[in-house]
Amino acid sequence: MTGPEIHTEKKLIEALRKSDAAAFDRIFKIYGRRLYYFALGYLKSKPEAEEVVQEVFYKIWKNRESLNPELSFKAYIFKIAYNHIQELFLKLAQERKYLSELVNTSIDFTTEMDEQINYQSLLELVDRLILQLPARQREILIMRKKDGKSVREIAALLNIAPKTVENHITEAIKKIKAGLAGEQLGGLLFFFLFITS
């Protein structure tokens, strides 16, 4: 960035610190597209890249009063974007782990099954079955299996009895188990002996 551009950017940051919406719009025009392509390069997903841009500019507006016009705004804004991209990768990894755990606790695998089953299809099926659960069961199952919250924590957050939480989890897992048992994947019909919560 050249001298005059740096000077202009400092003025924009100073104006943004004073909640100047026009300065915010100008900064968005300067960096929005660049951030989008930066995020897209990592995420390979247009909706997720757009989410990164929205999150970055939300944080900039929220923290506008603490911005330092003397520091590199470009470095600051791309650091926020990079951190959010890392968070998304962690979230995706956590979601995949959670689906894998549900599958692994739902199916009594044999070597023959391992060879014939398309594991990715199975993960996608479990995801679809979870989306079909009643809203409260889905919410509690996700809090327990994906977010790793204890039954007591969930009960406190939702203001319900721990036993109610356990009942919802049991029912949700039964429905997923039944859904999986009714599906034929890789030419096999799966019947399940047990499932752990």
Annotated domain spans of the chain: 3-91, 107-189
pLDDT digits (tens, 9 = 90+) for 74-89: 889 999 998 888 888 7
Q: CA-to-CA distance for 42 and 40, rounded, in angstroms?
A: 5
- Residue 27 confidence class, pLDDT cut points 50, 70, 90: very high
Q: 107-189 maps to which CATH number?
A: 1.10.10.10
Task: Quote the pLDDT of residue 187.
Answer: 30
Give, as one character, the DSSP assignment of residue 133: S
User: Is pLDDT larger for residue 148 or for residue 183?
Assistant: 148
Whether the per-residue pLDDT at 49 is higher than 80: the answer is: yes
Q: CA-to-CA distance for 15 and 23, rounded, in angstroms?
A: 6
Q: CA-to-CA distance for 73 and 13, rounded, in angstroms?
A: 8
- Residue 197 confidence class, pLDDT cut points 50, 70, 90: very low
What is the fold, at CATH topology level, of the domain defined by 3-91? Rna Polymerase Sigma Factor; Chain: A (1.10.1740)
Q: Are 123 and 183 in contact (CB under 8 A)?
A: no
For residue 65, what are the contacts with CB-CB under 8 A and spacing of at least 6? 17
Task: Quote the pLDDT of residue 30.
Answer: 92
- Residue 36 confidence class, pLDDT cut points 50, 70, 90: very high
Task: Quote the pLDDT of residue 43.
Answer: 82
Task: Quote the pLDDT of residue 185.
Answer: 41
pLDDT digits (tens, 9 = 90+) for 119-140: 566 667 777 888 888 888 888 8
Dihedral pair phi/psi, residue 179, rounded to 5°: -65, -40
For residue 126, what are the contacts with CB-CB under 8 A and spacing of at least 6? 99, 102, 103, 106, 176, 180
Q: Identify the sign of the CA torsion 66, 68, 71, 77.
A: positive
pLDDT digits (tens, 9 = 90+) for 150-181: 889 989 988 999 899 899 888 888 887 777 76
Query: Percentage of the chain with pLDDT > 70?
Result: 73
- Residue 194 confidence class, pLDDT cut points 50, 70, 90: very low
Q: How high is the mean pLDDT of the chain?
A: 77
User: Is pLDDT larger for residue 4 or for residue 22?
Assistant: 22
